[in-house]
Amino acid sequence: MALCYVDTSVLVALCTREPASNSVSQWYAGESDDLVSSVWCVTEFASALGIKRRTRQFDQAGAEAVWRQFERLCANDLRLLPLEPATFHRAALLTLDASSGLRAGDSLHLAAAIDANAIRIATLDAVLAENAKRQGLKLVAL
C-alpha cells in the first residue's frame, strides 16, 4: 500500500476547528493509503495546542479532549515514524537551501517523508507543499 505523509498542520485541522477542517475531514474520511508522520508531529501538535490554550481558544478541559483525540488518531490511524540522524541531516541540507524558504520543522517533515518513500504528502503549508513537489511528492488536494 502507498504511503501518504501527513504534516502537523493537517493533524491540527483534523482535531481542532480551523478554516480547512471541513476539507481535511472529508479527505481523511475517504483516504485509503497508509497514513504516516514522524514522531516530530507529537511535539509540534502539542506546541500548536499550547498556543491555542494560551490564546484562550480552548480551556483546560477542551485542550485535554483534543489531546486525547490526537492520541487516538496516532494509535489507530497514523503510523509514527522514528527520526534517524540521517533524516536530521537531510532536513539540515534542505533548510540550508535559502531559496527553499523552509523552516526547520517543515524541513524535518519533508526529510521524513522522503526517507519513508512516501508517494504523497498532506499539508496545509504552502512552502512545504512547494518544496515537496520539487522533491517529487504528490500533493493531497485539500
3-state secondary structure of 79: strand
The cell for 19 is 478554516
Side by side, which strands form the sheet with 79-81?
79-81, 34-38, 3-6, 120-122, 138-139
pLDDT score of 1 = 74
Q: Which residues of 70-85 are buried (b: 16+ CB within 10 A; e: fewer)?
A: beebbeeebeebebee
Residues whose CB falls within 8 Å of the CB of residue 58, separated by 6 or more in sequence, listed in order: 16, 49, 52, 66
pLDDT score of 30 = 95
Handedness of CA 107, 111, 114, 120 (dihedral sign): negative
Domain count, the chain: 1
Q: Is 112 exposed, middle or buried (0-12, 13-18, 19+ CB in 10 A)?
A: buried
Map grid coordinates 502537523 to a residue: 8
Residues of the chain predicted below pLDDT 70 = none
Domain that holds residue 30: 3-139
CATH number, domain with residue 98: 3.40.50.1010
* The model's pTM: 0.95
